[in-house]
Chains A and B, each alone.
Chain A
Amino acid sequence: DQQVKQNSPSLSVQEGRISILNCDYTNSMFDYFLWYKKYPAEGPTFLISISSIKDKNEDGRFTVFLNKSAKHLSLHIVPSQPGDSAVYFCAATRVGNTPLVFGKGTRLSVIA
C-alpha cells in the first residue's frame, strides 16, 4: 500500500511561470514532510520541509503548503527556471519514529 503518492509522473512549465507539484499521503500519523530534488546521476538533495504544526513554509522561490485535513501537500516554485528541471520527490515520516517514505517522483521540465 503506497503511503505517499505523487500522481503526476511529469509536468512541463514555461520559464518564469509557476510550477505546482502535488503529493498525497494516507498515513495520518505522518507529521513531517519533505521535498527532494534529483538531477540525473546524482543523489537526491533536500529542498524544503514542513512540520504538521504549520500549513506553509517558504524558502526563496520554493513554498510548501500542507493541508492536513486533505492529507495533501504541494510544492510551488515561482518563478520557474530551466535549472529547476529535475525529478522531485515528496517524502513523509513520523518524527522520532519511521524512516522517510518517498513518493514515486514527478519529473519537472521547465521550458525556456
Chain B
Amino acid sequence: DAGITQSPRHKVTETGTPVTLRCHQTENHRYMYWYRQDPGHGLRLIHYSYGVKDTDKGEVSDGYSVSRSKTEDFLLTLESATSSQTSVYFCAISEVRGGSPLHFGNGTRLTVT
C-alpha cells in the first residue's frame, strides 16, 4: 500500500457550505492528483499538482480549488458545495508525470444534501 491517507473518509454536508478534503502522502512523490468517480463517468481528473504551490486544472475543475503548501499534503476545496458534487473523491500520487502508475488513496465519499 502506497502511503496515502485521505480524510475524512465520509462526509455529509449541506448545499452552499465550504468543504475541504485532505490528502496526505508519505512517499515524497512530486505529483498529486484529485479525481472524482461517478456512475457512468468513471474517473475524471479535477486538479493536479506537479510540485509545492504548482497546480493545474483537470477536465472537471469548475467549483473546485486546490492548494499544496507542502510536498506531502494536497487539499481539495469546494468553496460552496452543490448536489452535483456528491461523489467519491480519490487522491493519487505518482513519481513522474505520465509514464508511471498512479497510486490511489481509499477515497472520500462526499454527500451534499
Contacts and interface: CB of A to CB of B under 8 A. Distances in A.
Contact of A93 (B40, B99, B103): B99
B107 A43 contact: yes
A104 B35 CA distance: 13
Interface in B13-61: 31, 33, 35, 40-45, 48, 58
Interface string A77-112: 000000000000101011111111111110000000
Nearest to B102: A100
Contacts, number: 60
B98 A94 contact: yes
A99 B99 CA distance: 9
B42 A32 contact: no
A86 to B, nearest CB: 14
A50 to B, nearest CB: 12
A45 B104 contact: yes
B106 A41 contact: yes
A46 B96 contact: no
A42 interface: yes
Given A97-B97, A99-B31, A102-B43, 12 more contacts: A41-B107, A42-B107, A43-B104, A45-B104, A89-B43, A96-B96, A96-B97, A96-B99, A98-B98, A100-B98, A102-B44, A104-B41
24 contacts: A41-B106, A41-B107, A42-B107, A43-B4, A43-B107, A44-B90, A45-B104, A91-B43, A93-B98, A95-B98, A96-B96, A97-B98, A98-B98, A99-B45, A99-B48, A100-B45, A100-B102, A101-B45, A102-B43, A103-B42, A104-B40, A104-B42, A105-B42, A105-B43
